[in-house]
A and B are shown apart, each in its own frame.
Chain A
Amino acid sequence: MWLVEMSQGDRMQASPGRQLQTMSTLPNIGLPSGAESRPMPEAAAKLSADNLNFFYGNFQALHAISMKVYDKRVTAFIGPSGCGKSTFLRTLNRMNETVRHSRVEGDILLDGENIFRLDVNDVRRRVGMVFQRSNPFPKSIYENVAYGLRINTSLGRSALRDAVEHSLRRAALWEEVKDKLHQSAYGLSGGQQQRLCIARALAVNPEVLLLDEPCSALDPIATAKIEDLIFQLKDSCTIVIVTHNMQQAARVADFTGFFLLGKLIEFDNTTVIFKTPARKETEDYVTGRFG
């Protein structure tokens, strides 16, 4: 069964005994009475950044970012344009390495292992990404979803078909495309194409899914569909989403990080960030005073 095939190979990669970490490292904010706060769950840190700095040539785009992304939770990054949230997201699957003259300092751990020491293609398979503008390949709907599986596995035809159907169902797209799997992906609407890209990313069974402003090019209905999708997915997949839409972050995310000028200003439960932020910059942003 293909699911077992994939995860067995991956379990052998993660080092034993490093699976769980407690919440004690989260900042203890003195909450004013009456404020809501979600109790800290017993969740593991799937990804953690440790003093991460990132440079484009001589320009420093990220300054000493340290934070944790918790397993099977939705984490959102918010902040004004150019604050570095997308740049940081792209370091999590080493996509920033495609930019010439870029440099990273610091560590990012995936299940405790430094991703910069792992095989980069492996990291990218385990940490998937959906982009701001949908980018389906010039192939059929079926082949788009199957592509990741074709290069990463050696599944037989029927196993492949099952996997493609499974991914399309997970992305809530199966019913809409099941009769036209072999038509070009470009025949789909914008929202459908984005869900196709989600299905494509899910097909390789990633442990983390990075979403880079996935709804910014979509209408409200398509956006709502994708937000529903995020709720459904988070039980099986850790999700990190970058969004410039604060309401979206408030709707979908368990944790939120606020970025400004390349620094992570504050990171906490979403409710705390939006209702009782600790830092003035965060408060100014979420109340709309700037950005």
Chain B
Amino acid sequence: MTWNKARRKIVNAVMLSLTGVCTLVAAGTLVFILGYLFVNGAKSLNWDFFTKLPVPVGESGGGMANAIVGSAKVLLLATVIGVPIGFMGGVYLAEFGGTIFSAVVRYVTDLLNGVPSIVMGIFAYTIIVAQQKHFSTMAGGVALGVMMIPIAIRSSEEFLRAVPLSLREGAMALGASKSKAIWTVVVPAAKAGLITGIMLNLARVAGETAPLIFTSFGNSFWSPGWDKATAALPVMIYTYAIGPYDSWHQQAWAAGFVLLTLVLAVNIIARMILAKRGHVAR
């Protein structure tokens, strides 16, 4: 009898400790990734990285200025496409919801959200690149923009819903129409959540590589306008990492460090804003 009790106590101690080990592994992985990138990336980082174009293979030096600008353009277009549609869709669901139609929209949004990013890339390819017969910044922007829509809808809806009914009713009781109440009271009240939602959304698509591989494709030079193929940061990381040259690998580390820092910084800031206001970031 006492042996059984002792065994139970041992099992208890061992299993509970194991769960702690699992947590350490999980948390430690992130710390390790960050640390490794910091060490390797920072040492390959220099001013040239941000200002120069990539140099031909074999030469040293050069940077990824075109990829940084290219990423920025693609993300800008993505934001212009994804955020307004997503936000307005979210307003519809939050303010005019309750119908079967809105249930269908929610379901389809979740569906779209679960689509792998590579499939989104195929989609943008078929509707733009295949038609135009060339790669372009615009195609890349469309691919990422479509990815942003479902995330934007759900997060906008969530934050708009979180605004208490009493605010809406207060506005309407003062004579405001429903739409005026929405734009002048509800949306401003949800401002923090909406903005952080956009930030998190951007951070998520900023790191996406797969959809860009056959839409914006890549470019060793500048890509003015929206009609030409362009370099993008994540795609450069991929290309350089699997390439055979050491100088390329170093550039990949530097680029990885820059990308990760940006993505994590946006994530941390957004989550901290949300946590302060009592929201839970998703």
Contact = CB atoms under 8 A, between A and B. Distances in A.
Interface of A: 9, 119, 121-122, 151, 154
Contacts of B5: 119, 121-122
Interface in B1-48: 1, 4-5, 8
A151 B1 contact: no
The 7 closest A-B pairs by CB, nearest first: A9-B1, A154-B4, A119-B5, A151-B8, A121-B5, A122-B5, A121-B8
B254 to A, nearest CB: 46
Interface of B: 1, 4-5, 8
Contacts, number: 7
A121 B4 CA distance: 13
Contacts of B1: 9
A152 to B, nearest CB: 8
Contacts of B4: 154
Nearest to A154: B4
B80 to A, nearest CB: 49
Nearest to B12: A121
Where chain A touches its partner, the secondary structure class is helix
B25 to A, nearest CB: 26
A92 B1 CA distance: 24
Contacts of A151: 8
Nearest to B4: A154
A122 B5 CA distance: 9
A119 B1 CA distance: 14
A150 to B, nearest CB: 11
A35 B5 CA distance: 51
B8 to A, nearest CB: 7
Nearest to A8: B1
Nearest to A119: B5
7 contacts: A9-B1, A119-B5, A121-B5, A121-B8, A122-B5, A151-B8, A154-B4
Contacts of A154: 4
Contacts of B8: 121, 151
Contacts of A121: 5, 8
A8 to B, nearest CB: 9
A51 B1 CA distance: 34
Interface centre among B1, B5, B8 (most CB of A within 10 A): B1
A19 B123 CA distance: 82
Contacts of A122: 5
A154 B4 CA distance: 9
A5 B4 CA distance: 14
A232 B8 CA distance: 34
A122 to B, nearest CB: 8
A9 B4 CA distance: 12
A154 B8 CA distance: 12
A151 B4 CA distance: 9
A122 B1 CA distance: 12
A182 B5 CA distance: 28
A119 B5 CA distance: 10
A58 to B, nearest CB: 26
B181 to A, nearest CB: 41
A9 B1 CA distance: 8
A122 B8 CA distance: 12
A114 to B, nearest CB: 19
A2 to B, nearest CB: 13
A115 B243 CA distance: 69
A209 B8 CA distance: 24
A262 to B, nearest CB: 33
Contacts of A119: 5
A121 to B, nearest CB: 7
Nearest to A122: B5
A154 B7 CA distance: 13
Nearest to B1: A9
A121 B7 CA distance: 13
A20 B4 CA distance: 31
Nearest to B2: A9
Nearest to A5: B1
B149 to A, nearest CB: 39
A121 B6 CA distance: 11
A26 B4 CA distance: 41
A162 B126 CA distance: 70
A94 B111 CA distance: 49
A7 to B, nearest CB: 12
A53 to B, nearest CB: 29
A43 to B, nearest CB: 29
A16 B244 CA distance: 82
A245 B155 CA distance: 49
A33 to B, nearest CB: 55
Contacts of A9: 1
